[in-house]
Amino acid sequence: MSDESSQVIRILFVEDNVVDVELALHQLKRAGIRYVWRRVETEAGLIAGLHEFAPTIILSDFSLPQFDGMSALGIAQQHAPAVPFVFLSGTIGEERAILALRSGAVDYVLKDNLGRLATSVTRALSDAAEDVERVRQEALIARLNRVLHMLSGVNSLVLRIRDRKELLRETCRLAISVGGYAAAIASTKVPDIAAMQPVAWSGIDDEVTEKLRSYVAESAGRESSVVGKVIRTGKEFVCGNTAAQSATVNFDALMVHAGLRSVAVLPLVIDGAVIAVLVLCARDSNIVGAEEMEMLREVAGNLSFGLQYIQRDTTARFLSHFDSQTGLAKRPLFCERVQRLVASATSRGPRYAAVVMDIERLSVINDSFGRRTGDLLLRHVADRLKYYYPKTDQIAHFTGGTFALISPQGDRTEEEIQAAGYRQAEAIFGEPFQVEGRSIPVAVRTGFALFPEDAPDATVLVQNAEAALHGARATGGKHVRYSSTARLEGVGQLALEHRLRLAFERQEFELFYQPKVSVITRRIQGAEALIRWRSPQDGLVLPGDFLPILESSGLIVQVGDWVIRQAAQDCQRWLRDGLPPIRVAVNIAPAQLGHPDFVRDFLRAVEPWSTKTSGLDVEITEGVLQEDSLTEVNRLKLLRDTGAKIAIDDFGTGYSSLRRLAALPIDTLKIDRHFVAACVGNPAGASLVKTIIALARTFDMATVAEGVEKQEQLDFLWHMGCDQSQGFLHSPAVTAAEFGLLLRHGKGRLIQPAESEELSESNASGF
């Protein structure tokens, strides 16, 4: 090797004869070898020489006055096994030569044939270098193997664990037990401030790990520190030899003291921001090479994905409990909180009033000032409520202009409660609201119910307060207690129920269809069937006005069955008319799905004619699939086996965690129109829609946006990769006949005619 000769070698002579040393050096010099040397001639001298001089080669006589060559070889092998040992001696005889080589000497050179010495030394050194390299390679492969195992371990953690701390804790443990690191520490960002805090750690030496942990905790805030720099720059930090590094004094001193030579600090990044760091330390120097770093980057990437996923899941769950506009609890969470309150109340008190209030004529405000002003107004109302009820878990925003609150009443009489309610409403709503330069006066109606007098538990309490509000609307009352209205409500309901029964017998219900349009091609891919009541007395009545009665009376089961049969009939007629096949979704009420004949009736209506491209799908709400609804889940599975797709309606308004949904038979998420409305010009709304779409994709679910009214919303949905769009932008729900025309010709620039058959085939596979 050419550079071997230019290197300075370090020779340790085990030799009593100075002249022999000089002769040997003369030969080496002639061969162009550069060297430094030392001579020893006793056992003690040899041991000291090996350690202090650190030779790269040993040249040893075979017999010395106070020592012998074979013992020297034994000592050298023990203290410096990697240093080549060459005998340089007078005649030693073949047998002893063989023994010497077997014992680990790499060569022997006779003193009367010194011409061979330079070649022998050169070869011994290059062999030794190769050995070192081979050992290094083997160690490297072994290490890479361990890190590879760690990587695959982390991947399965990411798939399995849904808790951030636990994920990091298990990762640290893996880094030690599988990855072969000596210590691992994970720090995550503390919300709202710049700091990071260690949340998980593991190590082979507890004391060392603890020291490192406090260093990481303490230094994260210092921008100049190793950890601080990684957090600030988002760039990984690797050091192969902490003993030689000088830029990061404290850290290195600590590491060196702990016997840790290699360290890697990896940033975990979500959306371009560092949200956590993973610190890995090892005892040996220079072990984090390029390949290992490559794998560690992958570990960090997959961990980041896992954390992001967990975060999104939590955000989605969080947002599903709270109203995104006002930040107040939604109805289910409010009921839960009320339940907790009343559960702790005893028979002697405290008493509570549940109050539900409704902003009068919110729709007029929306119509005259615009939806945006209406939304802002709701936010202002929420803010005032928060001001008067600083314990925000007392208040809630149900839907539209309806707010609710729960307050302790002590032993006030009903009159006192009434009076206090008036005063409170006056205080909160007496002054007009200033919204975007407009002064908007707001009037509210409230209904309330008392616990325990009016209701045995939280659910009924809230329901009865709502019933009281309905009563207030009907009677024009301002602040109405439950019991006084209950009877009135009952009469109204019975009358309406009777009218609906008649309507059903007289076939006054009708199905309208609203197109679902491919966000990419803008072609009609499907439709949703929506029920209408063509009342001879009141004209076309929307489901909002009669569905609750159908549901509470149980009529919904028969009417729902009719909806399925009617939709099937309409579909078949479109097919007969030569229109392109599409899939039509029907809404299924919980009571329908709960009915034992549901699957049988559905299949009867659909099986004779449906194909992959034309048939009926179902839309259900999240609530249907809560906890112990095994039967319902199995029914949906049966439907699905025959080709019907299952969609979750109004997604985002209910309770479900997406993770739970992933285990259910669901093909499609319909993003609730409130989120779609908030997705443009509202970062929280936009991020929620984005999250829902991204998560749906990870679960292989399709997404349909509801209530798309504006081009900007459609553009946003297109960017986010939403599959289908439904809303007034494309078309309102229209009669079956009108829908046939839409299918054939399309309308305006937003809907193309429906797709030809081949096109919808290729699309159906992706959907």
The residue among 444 and 647 lying less far from Ca ion, judged by its C-beta, is 647
Residue 20 interaction partner, one of ligand C2E, Ca ion, none, beta carbon < 5-8 Å per kind: none
The residue among 387 and 728 lying less far from ligand C2E, judged by its C-beta, is 728
Minimum gap (Å) between residue 557 Cβ and Ca ion = 18
Nearest-angstrom CA–CA distance, 542 and 532: 5
Q: Which residues pair with 526 in a beta bridge?
A: 516, 583
Torsion of the alpha carbons at 383, 388, 390 and 391, rounded to the nearest 10: -110
Name the residue among 535, 536, 527, 532 with its Cα closest to residue 724: 527
Minimum gap (Å) between residue 475 Cβ and ligand C2E = 26
Residue 374: how many CB atoms within 10 A of its CB? 21
* Residue 544 interacting with ligand C2E (CB under 6 A): yes
State the Cα angle at 521 between 312 and 686, rounded to 5°. 25
Q: What length is written for the chain?
A: 767
The residue among 516 and 690 lying less far from ligand C2E, judged by its C-beta, is 516
The residue among 384 and 565 lying less far from ligand C2E, judged by its C-beta, is 565
Minimum gap (Å) between residue 177 Cβ and Ca ion = 49
Residue 107 interaction partner, one of ligand C2E, Ca ion, none, beta carbon < 5-8 Å per kind: none
Nearest-angstrom CA–CA distance, 349 and 168: 46
The residue among 237 and 512 lying less far from ligand C2E, judged by its C-beta, is 512
Nearest-angstrom CA–CA distance, 509 and 575: 23
Task: Say which residue the tokens 């010395």 belong to.
Answer: 64
Site for Ca ion in 562-601 (CB under 5 A): 587
In the stretch 674-713, what mask flags binding to Ca ion with x, by CB under 5 A? --------------------------------x-------
In the stretch 595-624, what mask flags binding to Ca ion with x, by CB under 5 A? ------------------------x-----
Site for ligand C2E in 678-737 (CB under 6 A): 706-709, 727-728, 733
Pairing of strands 273-282, 262-270: antiparallel
Nearest-angstrom CA–CA distance, 2 and 520: 65
The residue among 444 and 714 lying less far from ligand C2E, judged by its C-beta, is 714
The residue among 199 and 531 lying less far from ligand C2E, judged by its C-beta, is 531
Minimum gap (Å) between residue 732 Cβ and ligand C2E = 6
Minimum gap (Å) between residue 692 Cβ and Ca ion = 13
**H/E segment holding residue 167:** helix 164-177
Residue pair 187/220 in contact by the 8 Å Cβ criterion: yes
Amino acid at 509: F
* Residue 632 interacting with ligand C2E (CB under 6 A): no
Residue pair 425/354 in contact by the 8 Å Cβ criterion: no
* Residue 561 interacting with ligand C2E (CB under 6 A): no
Residue pair 78/105 in contact by the 8 Å Cβ criterion: no
- Pick one of 531, 639, 661, 695: the residue that binds ligand C2E (CB under 6 A): 531
* Residue 650 interacting with ligand C2E (CB under 6 A): yes
Minimum gap (Å) between residue 510 Cβ and ligand C2E = 10
Residue pair 121/57 in contact by the 8 Å Cβ criterion: yes
- Pick one of 650, 667, 723, 755: the residue that binds Ca ion (CB under 5 A): 650
Outline where DSSP puts E strands in 383-520: 395-397, 402-408, 433-435, 438-440, 444-451, 479-481, 509-518
Minimum gap (Å) between residue 492 Cβ and ligand C2E = 20
Within 8 A by CB and 6+ apart from 108, the residues are 62, 86, 87, 88, 89, 92, 97, 100, 101
* Residue 649 interacting with Ca ion (CB under 5 A): yes
* Residue 306 interacting with ligand C2E (CB under 6 A): no
Residue pair 182/208 in contact by the 8 Å Cβ criterion: yes
* Binding region for ligand C2E (CB under 6 A): 514, 530-531, 542-544, 547, 560, 563, 587, 589, 619, 649-650, 673, 706-709, 727-728, 733
* Binding region for Ca ion (CB under 5 A): 587, 619, 649-650, 706
